[in-house]
Amino acid sequence: MSLDKFKIEKKANEFLGHFDPNIKVEIVATDDGCNINVDTEISGLLIGRRGETLEAMQHILRLILSKESGEFIPVSLDIAGYRAAREEEIRGMAKQVAGKVISFGGTESLPSMNAYERRLAHLVLQEFEKIEAESEGVEPERRIVIRLKTDK
């Protein structure tokens, strides 16, 4: 990664400061990129419906940092702990629906999710030997459908 933590923090503050001048940005360097954690009083506005605004802001921030450095900079943007809470919500939802399918049979589907969220749900669903799960539909309405395994 050619940008140092200070430059990343400066660029993140410049970009995110347009939305809230009192925003607090914390940079955590990782082996392959960085995590940017944000604290703001307008977190709901910046997260958006089902994290859509957050995803868009993360994409824009990646573009800004990549242009500055001349190389792709992997960035994960989180606002007010939304990502961790959302991941826990997805895990719980996947387990609950899998349990329902195992108990009552039939087919159930999870709400539409982005690719990262679907991947997370698929990882959880792999723990259940009696069900099978597959993604169906077209973005942005792609969802996971869960059913009992059939003997072939």
3-state helix, strand, coil in the chain (%, to 5): 45, 20, 30
Residues 68 and 103 placed together within one structural domain of the fold: no
Find the domain containing 37 and state its range. Answer: 5-80
Residues 75 and 126 placed together within one structural domain of the fold: no
Q: Which of 52, 80, 108 is the last residue of a domain?
A: 80
Q: Report the alpha-carbon distance of residue 125 to residue 79 in Å, rounded.
A: 27
Based on the structure, what is the number of domains in the chain? 2
Residues 9 and 76 placed together within one structural domain of the fold: yes
What are the angstrom distances between the C-alpha of 147 and each of 40, 91, 99, 142, 152? 41, 17, 11, 16, 14
What does the pLDDT read at residue 73? 85
Token pair of 66, please? 């990549």
Q: Which of 35, 63, 80 is the last residue of a domain?
A: 80
CATH number at residue 25: 3.30.300.20
Residues 60 and 98 placed together within one structural domain of the fold: no
Residues 62 and 102 placed together within one structural domain of the fold: no
Residues 110 and 67 placed together within one structural domain of the fold: no
Q: Is the distance from CB of 144 to CB of 110 less than 8 angstroms?
A: yes
CATH number at residue 115: 3.30.1370.50
> In this predicted model, what pLDDT tens digit does every residue of 121-132 receive, in sequence order?
999 999 999 999
What does the pLDDT read at residue 101? 96
Q: Residue 93: what are its φ and ψ, rounded to 5°?
A: -65, -45
Q: Report the alpha-carbon distance of residue 74 to residue 35 in Å, rounded.
A: 9
What is the mean predicted confidence (pLDDT) over 143-149? 95
For tokens 């609950």, the residue is: 96
Residues 45 and 63 placed together within one structural domain of the fold: yes
Q: Which of 80, 104, 125 is the last residue of a domain?
A: 80
For tokens 């955590």, the residue is: 28
Residues 75 and 51 placed together within one structural domain of the fold: yes
Residues 117 and 73 placed together within one structural domain of the fold: no
How does DSSP assign 59-90, residue by residue? HHHHHHHHHHHTS---EEEEETTHHHHHHHHH
Residues 76 and 95 placed together within one structural domain of the fold: no
> In this predicted model, what pLDDT tens digit does every residue of 82-141 receive, in sequence order?
999 999 999 999 999 999 999 999 999 999 999 889 999 999 999 999 999 999 999 889
